[in-house]
Amino acid sequence: MTTKGHVYVIDDDEAMRDSLNFLLDSAGFGVTLFDNAQSFVDALPRLAFGCVVSDIRMPGLDGIELLKRMKAQHSPFPILIMTGHGDVPLAVEAMKLGAVDFLEKPFEDDRLTAMIETAIRQAGPAARSDAIAQDIAARVGSLSPRERQVMEGLVAGLSNKLIARDYDISPRTIEVYRANVMTKMQAGSLSELVRLAMRAGMLKD
């Protein structure tokens, strides 16, 4: 199902996470929830491009430290920061560190969804290019070890029969793995799979 884009919600408050999940899912976004910033940072290399919506005050890694980490990694993900009433000085610091905007809790639902749409739409050409690369990396990351082996065989030009012989499994089983690879990589043809593999750095131009 096509969505308006991915949104990654980071908040240690379970009720707030559930509320935002319902709101953003209903608005047509793909939503992933994190109860702490460290787990988001750990998952970041495998995530498709999207907008981050993070609370600013959290135990452990807080919103400010998260922004510093993402800035150091040159992450293209736009970040919206949620603050409590009276946290404007902290929000200003967040903006200086690269947050695209901030909202004071409580906020209007429509304002949040509009800000997310704008943040995703205004991601620059470099960010979009990085987004494509990250999206492809996320697809590769979704493959099982055996599916990845089959993909490597396919893009190397090996036939199903040769791949089956290399891994001592039946050609029929290879057909199943091949179908899974094409589905997970969202490739409509072998040539498209090769292009995706090149973008993922799995083989040289």
Write out the CATH class of domain 142-199.
mainly alpha
Q: Which pLDDT tens digit goes with each residue over 143-192? A: 999 999 999 999 888 889 999 999 999 999 999 999 999 999 999 888 88
pLDDT of residue 205: 46
| Domain layout of the chain by residue ranges | 6-124, 142-199
Q: Which pLDDT tens digit goes with each residue over 66-80? A: 999 988 887 889 999
Q: Which pLDDT tens digit goes with each residue over 9-19? A: 999 999 999 99
**Helices vs. strands in the chain: H and E counts, helices first:** 10, 5
Q: Give the domain 6-124 fold.
A: Rossmann fold (3.40.50)
- Residue 1: pLDDT above 50? no
pLDDT of residue 62: 87
Q: Which pLDDT tens digit goes with each residue over 100-149? A: 888 888 888 999 999 999 888 877 555 667 777 778 888 999 999 999 99
Instruction: Report the C-alpha gap between 117 and 119 in whole angstroms.
Output: 6
| CATH topology identical between 6-124 and 142-199 | no
Q: Which pLDDT tens digit goes with each residue over 189-202? A: 888 888 888 888 88
| pTM of the model as a whole | 0.61
- Largest CA-CA distance found in the chain, in angstroms, rounded: 66
Residue 120: closest CA among 193, 48, 196? 48
pLDDT of residue 8: 96
- Residue 204: pLDDT above 60? no
